[in-house]
Structure 1
Amino acid sequence: MSSPRKVVELFYDVVSPYSWLAFEVLCRYRNVWNIELKFKPAYLGGVMHGSGNRPPGVVPNKFLYMNQDLKRLSEYFVIPLSPPSNPFEAMFEKGSLNAMRFVTAVAEKDKEEHVLVERVSRELWKRIWSTDQDITQPASFTEAGLKAGLSTNEVEEILNLAKSQPIKDKLKSVTQEALDYQCFGFPCIVCHMNGKAEVFFGSDRFELMAHCIGEKWVGPQPVKPTAKM
């Protein structure tokens, strides 16, 4: 008899490049580890404010390090990550509130399969962290949605839904849920097993995470196990 699947929740915001790294690695590992991966789109600005954290852009040395760090991580994780021409503006001045409301609306329409929220999130990450494009305007959400496989009518419906109070409340609720786990930034990964929640911050804790959930970390690009005859 196989053991029950462990639930792994990923709290993320598409404005966070480190969240993209964690997102892609967990997507690669969900069929390697015995996990049920749940996407939890939230608002990084709300978590930073609620936890009293400071963004790297206000600490010059930290900001300079981040740019170099992302170049190394892009190569290691094999993810086309390239900082935008003005990272501070893209991450902190323009913000991601409307983008995460759009992702939250997709998640609400995609509660069962989680395929569309995965695709839409990836397309938005690509826009800001690969091709240096906007993620704040409705036209940007439309383009990301269409590339993710949504129809024109579906995108229009989700754009309208994203403006609704229930979606705004849902985003606030999930953001507060992250804060309740004492989250102070993204990605925040919560592993549930045996009635206990283990919380991990960042995209560099996979080896420790694997140890805690009884799985094995084999690098950023695992080979899917072959079926036994």
Structure 2
Amino acid sequence: MVEALLGGPGVPEDLPPPRYPIDVYFDYSSPFAYLGCARVEQWLTHSDVDPALVRWRPMLLGAVFKQVGTDDVPLFKLNAPKRRHTALDIERQAAQVDAPYRFPSRFPMRTVLPLRATMAAGVHGVQDVQGRRLIHRMFRAYWAEDRDISDSKVVAAVCRECGFDGDMLVAAAEQDDIKAALRQSTDDAVAAGVFGAPAFVVHGEGEPQLFWGSDRFELALRAASGLS
């Protein structure tokens, strides 16, 4: 089950149930997206909220960076002290949410194939537990197990570990409709003001509200609950 991929709850408490949906934009290439998505899943696992209120939205982070004018790998542009602190911060957050983590030997990682496979599995919009499991399993394959998720055999294997026909999803990832779906999700992210991952977009009354960063999910939940 999904709970076995993540640890105990590292989620906000004592908030009223959300009233508005939350789009969770992510790319497997980001360690912060890994941690942010772990927070979301732990909250879903340990609450009685309708999972349909959380809409998992794969996006191509590199394409987002290009559209908003950001360097392809911002981590490479950090000065030495900030780079050291960022590495430590990732480890601290991983420990907080009980997510296994080790920085991979291959970084950055080309993630277009696993993102398309995720789309092909139907993991966009409203998802079931099996679909969500695929998201977290793919994240863990890269950020905890150092597997090459740009490799079609690895992607197929991870999909099979979640109960899907891995070869079918890898083949489907080359279909025009799947490619278009990922492009559209990426364009939707940019239109919502997304500039990095993870990003949480709350669709309440008025304009959508954007929250960026692995530790901003509680603020997004407050907005979705009508508290801010």
Match of 1:128 in 2: 142
Gaps of 5+ in 2: 1-15
Q: Where in structure 2 are the equivalents of 1:144-223 lying within 5 Å? A: 144-150=158-164, 154-214=165-225
8 Å Cα contact 1:82/1:130 also seen in 2: yes
8 Å Cα contact 1:13/1:100 also seen in 2: yes
Q: Deviations over 1:9-39 (max 9, x none)?
A: 1010111111121212112223356771111
8 Å Cα contact 2:55/2:126 also seen in 1: no
Matched, 1:76 2:93: no
- Post-superposition shift, 1:41? 0.8
The amino acid that maps onto 1:177 is: D
How many pairs does the alignment contain? 206
8 Å Cα contact 2:55/2:127 also seen in 1: no
- Greater displacement, 200-209 / 111-120: 111-120
RMSD: 2.5
CA separation of 1:75 and 1:215: change in aligned 2, threshold 3 A: farther
Distance 1:116 1:19 in 2: 19
Q: What is the TM-score normalised by the length of structure 1?
A: 0.80
8 Å Cα contact 1:11/1:187 also seen in 2: yes
Of structures 1 and 2, the larger Rg is shown by 1
CA separation of 1:60 and 1:107: change in aligned 2, threshold 3 A: farther
Matched, 1:100 2:115: yes
Distance 2:193 2:18 in 1: 27
Distance 2:220 2:17 in 1: 18
8 Å Cα contact 1:41/1:171 also seen in 2: yes
Q: What is the TM-score normalised by the length of structure 2?
A: 0.81
- Post-superposition shift, 1:177? 0.5
**Identity %, equivalent residues:** 22
Distance 2:125 2:216 in 1: 28
Distance 2:162 2:175 in 1: 22
